[in-house]
Amino acid sequence: MVKFASFILLMISITLSQTGMAQSSRFDFFLGYGYYEGLTAGTELYNKSGSWSVNLSAGYFRRFQKDEESFSFSIGYQHAILLKQRSDENRYRWHAGCRSVYWQLQDPWYLWKAVSVIPSVNRNFLIFKKIKINLDAGPAFNSVLYNKRKTFEQAGWPYHVMPELKIVFIL
């Protein structure tokens, strides 16, 4: 179910980013990596002034040496907290945001289904004419919704609070 929902979310994100509204810079498509979200693809919708935005993304991660596989999808909100000094492109500023991430991790010992709430501070940097990089950092507050222990070889539980760092390329 999570794989299917992640795939549908990715397709919606790509479709929205390619609409006519994308030409008016209201929608951006992004690719990134975060600890809980893994490799992420999604879309972000900005208001006209660029002072706030909402985003949707789907993620996947596979760690081969430990036989781990993770799926995630998230929804987030960001609001500007500091304007850039130059006014020619007012969307590049510091933002405070919050993401809610549903993630599922499966390894040889456990199956986890959890929700993380991640308040964060982030900053966009222009690298090329239309490509930006976003650095996002904050604590991830985790809550386990479901867990299934497959073997009794190892015991563990996700930490309740962990640091989260995410890097995103906005196209």
Number of domains in the chain: 1
pLDDT score, position 19? 47
Residue 134 forms part of a structural domain = yes
pLDDT score, position 119? 96
Range of the domain at 106: 2-18+26-85+99-170
Low-confidence ranges of the chain (pLDDT < 50): 17-24, 90
Question: Which tokens is 20 given?
Answer: 């006519």
Residue 158 forms part of a structural domain = yes
pLDDT score, position 4? 56
Residue 58 forms part of a structural domain = yes
Instruction: Identify the three-state secondary structure at position 134.
Output: strand
pLDDT score, position 153? 83
pLDDT score, position 156? 81
**Long-range contact set of residues 139-144: C-beta below 8 Å, sequence gap at least 24:** 139/163, 139/164, 140/35, 140/36, 140/101, 140/116, 140/164, 141/116, 141/117, 142/114, 142/115, 142/116, 143/114, 143/115, 143/116, 143/117, 144/112, 144/113, 144/114
pLDDT score, position 90? 46
pLDDT score, position 49? 73
Residue 55 forms part of a structural domain = yes
Residue 72 forms part of a structural domain = yes
pTM: 0.80
Residue 90 forms part of a structural domain = no
Residues 6+ apart with CB under 8 A from 9: 42, 56, 57, 58, 73
